[in-house]
Structure 1
Amino acid sequence: MKRAITRTAQPFIFLLVSFFLFSFQIEKEGKVSKEKELTDSNTPLHLLQPDYPVPYGMVKKEEVKGVIDRVRDYLAAVTPTTVIDKTTQKEITDFSKVNANSLLKPGDFRLLSYEWGVTYSAMLAAGEITGDAKYTDYTKDRVKFIADLYPHFKALSEQKNALHSILHPGALDDAGALCAAFIKTQAVGSDADIRPIVDNFMTYIMEKEFRLNDGTLARNRPLKNTLWLDDLYMSVPAIVQMGKLTGETKYYDAAVKQIELFSKRMFNERNGLYMHGWVEDMDVHPEFHWARANGWALLTKVEVLSVLPKDHPGRPMVMDLLKKHIKGLAALQSGSGFWHQLLDKNDSYLETSATAIYAYCIAKSINEGWIDGLAHAPMTLLAWNAVATMVNNTGQVEGTCVGTGMAFDPAFYYHRPINKFAAHGYGPVIAAGAEVIRLLQNNDFEINDSSLQLLRK
């Protein structure tokens, strides 16, 4: 009986629901018709607010600081300075007792990676710009930890141990970024005995790394006599910092020479971009403009110009390359503020670490007076706003491409994974935020016809 009544009631229920929906639609349309329609004659349409995919407009120093503080606090919590026994997992407080069985206590990131060399440098820059000693202390504490361990692990001779990559570097990745950061740490007044590590790194960079016949730093992978654009950053900042540390001109000359050698093979003057890889034996050189590698190249030029003496004969060449590179990158920034994984391929994904590196480098170039702030400051703040959206509530950086080798087909780059534990994003985000704070401290901005503009002083 219940089933029969239900079937009988179905047409009635359908009609009732239809009636109410129809009545609601009539009421809604009546309200719309009574509202004032926006037209060209009654509304300044150019002032309507666009639907931006990331925050747009004025940027506040306090908000920028809040973002990088969140990143710093997260990193401080997940990168311990502790040595443990591999078997017992107990902490070793007396470093004279370390042995081949001793490990650095694992955290979310490795304290000895090149990515952490970038992070150490970024923390020092943030400390200088913001005046917040927590940033400076982060680097000083970890560099001292490594330096204090160094002689004890060195005494283990050739045994494989926790500091093997800095005792016996096997690639520029092991040496350059950390070396540059260690020299900078010494410059801010660290009481750690850093010089033995620095000298060991520089011996590898200057004397042991494979080179082409003309002296260009190179690798024999994936093919013989291969240039990796990444290696500019993995070597040159350390070399130029060694020039500052020692006052020896040979280091400045060597740094400039590497930029010249890499750029003549890998920089495309037409589009202002670098290819990722160059192989000596190739008849043609496929140009894959990987975003982060271009970031390393841009960051290298900024590092060199920050240290190179004003009267060095190589300075105009480096400055010219910097300006051409920024011009090429500026033309390819997406409407969301990010850059693409392959810079000139709009169907490749938007990537965080490269965007952060560009934001830092362009902001610093403005702050140093190397490029026109009127032209470049708005795009820089747009890039920062994009990057800030990728810092989650924990302080982790999202949207960063994982470590990437070299390829000669697009699919490899298009489909590289992204991961919040890709260490490459953290240093650049902190550096970008710090330099953007400096940009905001030095300049005033306004909104004109809804667009962000830097005010000429």
Structure 2
Amino acid sequence: MRKKVFLLLCLIPFQFMFAQTSMLKNFPKGSTPEEVGKRLAYRFVNEKHALHAGKWIGYPETFYWNGALKYAAVTKDKELIKTLQNKFEPLFTTEKALLPIMNHVDLNMFGSLPLEFYNVTKEKRYLELGIPYADTQWQVPENAKSKEKEWADKGYSWQTRLWIDDMYMITIVQTQAYKVTKDPKYIDRAAKEMVLYLDDLQRPNGLFYHAPDVPFYWGRGNGWMAAGMAELLQAMPKKHKDRPRIMKGYQTMMESLKKYQNPEGLWNQLIDKSDCWTETSGSAMFTFAFIKGVKNGWLNAKEYAPAARKAWIALVPYLNEKNQVREVCVGTNKKNELQYYYDRPRRTGDYHGQGPFLWCTVALLEK
């Protein structure tokens, strides 16, 4: 009898945890990740390229493409995988000139896409295309500036800028390279870089300035940090020396984000300004980080599963009948002027928003 009671008592925490994580399932019709993901992913099939400087595949398109591919993989949609491969095929031939050069943080991140194609298809040509983008983030060019060389001498990427955006751009390529090669140098690079940014940019409240000289809590900028930490933590070995520091930074940020979640369930363009407008790309990134945290046990499910569910259900109405996300802040350089962030234009269908919405669908669907 005592043994049965003991077993029942042991089961209670697991049953409670299951009840909380089940909040990330059973969504109302029209809000399921399968429905929303399909709408977004299939829209991408016919989208035009969004070129960086009018020359190369840009990072917003790369991450939209990545999201569509991951959605296809998690739902085992072989037709969509093949269609996305066909869309990529010209980059090996007639559109080869659109492949980004490897000299800037916003361009090197393209490597995450062919590495994801390799992860899904196991076709070696994708690996051969993607790995140089990861390697050249640590290979200092001859014409590098003194500051870039200084970062490299300390073991960091020469592309380091201490802008919060970088902590997705750099770490996602290195993380993807680690996932497909299992070479620890890639995850070590990503972790070392993340710790630098945490130490330099995270404020006591858990949020991040856009840059050391720009003391504003910009939504999508913080979103890149949140999503970058979530991706990195999921890939890192459990005993990695930098994991505790990154986990602390992640959990501190998530606690602050939960406090700043607006009544609608989302977040504002400037996170700590209640009079600022709701911005969807950053909100989707925070939702993604919440979902990852609950599902991986990094966050208390009782506290964060309801917040994640509320955010996801609030995001879905921002997807219009053309499967375009509304209220997306345009691309934003840093500027030490508060009003600049209030006044940033808002777009519908901007790839900065389309991609993170897809990341959420994948995170919800993953086991």
Question: TM-score interval w.r.t. the shorter chain?
Answer: 0.7 to 0.9
| 1:180 partner amino acid | S
Q: CA deviation at 1:245?
A: 2.6
**Cα distance per residue 1:30-61 (max 9 Å; x no partner):** xxxxxxxxxxxxxxxxxxxxxxxxxxx97237
**Cα distance per residue 1:222-250 (max 9 Å; x no partner):** xxx95211011111111122223333222
Residue 263 in structure 1 maps to residue 198 in structure 2: yes
- Structure 1 286/191 Cα, relative in aligned 2: closer, same or farther at 3 Å? closer
Match 1:411 to one of 339, 343, 346: 339
Q: Which residue is equivalent to 1:175?
A: 108
Residue 73 in structure 1 maps to residue 42 in structure 2: yes
1:44-83 equivalences in 2 (<5 Å): 59-60=27-28, 63-64=31-32, 65-79=34-48
Q: Which residue is equivalent to 1:237?
A: 172
Instruction: Decide whether the 8 Å contact of 1:227 with 1:277 is kept in 2.
Output: yes
Match 1:313 to one of 234, 241, 246: 241
Match 2:359 to one of 409, 431, 447: 431
Q: TM-score, normalised by structure 1?
A: 0.67
Question: After TM superposition, where is structure 1 displaced by more than 6 Å over at least 4 residues in a row?
Answer: none
**Cα distance per residue 1:317-374 (max 9 Å; x no partner):** 2222211111111110000011000110111111010111111121122112221222
Q: CA deviation at 1:410?
A: 0.6
1:8-407 equivalences in 2 (<5 Å): 59-60=27-28, 63-64=31-32, 65-79=34-48, 112-149=57-94, 153=96, 162-163=97-98, 166=100, 168-176=101-109, 178-191=110-123, 193-208=125-140, 210=148, 212-213=150-151, 214-217=154-157, 226-268=161-203, 270-278=204-212, 285-407=213-335
Instruction: Decide whether the 8 Å contact of 2:157 with 2:193 is kept in 1.
Output: yes
Instruction: Decide whether the 8 Å contact of 2:58 with 2:107 is kept in 1.
Output: yes
Larger of the two Rg values belongs to structure: 1
Q: CA deviation at 1:189?
A: 1.4
**Cα distance per residue 1:32-91 (max 9 Å; x no partner):** xxxxxxxxxxxxxxxxxxxxxxxxx97237632222322223222224xxxxxxxxxxxx
Q: Which residue is equivalent to 2:16?
A: none
Q: CA deviation at 1:406?
A: 0.1
Name the SS for the 1:125 alignment partner: helix
- Structure 1 362/111 Cα, relative in aligned 2: closer, same or farther at 3 Å? farther
- Structure 1 61/337 Cα, relative in aligned 2: closer, same or farther at 3 Å? same
Name the SS for the 1:193 alignment partner: helix
- Structure 1 113/392 Cα, relative in aligned 2: closer, same or farther at 3 Å? same
Instruction: Decide whether the 8 Å contact of 1:211 with 1:217 is kept in 2.
Output: no
Separation in 1, partners of 2:157, 2:274: 32
Q: CA deviation at 1:315?
A: 1.6
Name the SS for the 2:162 alignment partner: strand
Instruction: Decide whether the 8 Å contact of 2:219 with 2:271 is kept in 1.
Output: yes
Separation in 2, partners of 1:110, 1:325: 36
**Cα distance per residue 1:250-301 (max 9 Å; x no partner):** 2221111001111111001x211011112xxxxxx45211110111111111
- Structure 1 128/203 Cα, relative in aligned 2: closer, same or farther at 3 Å? closer
Separation in 2, partners of 1:435, 1:199: 25
Separation in 2, partners of 1:110, 1:372: 45
Q: TM-score, normalised by structure 2?
A: 0.82
Instruction: Please state which structure has a larger fraction of its residues in helix.
Output: 2
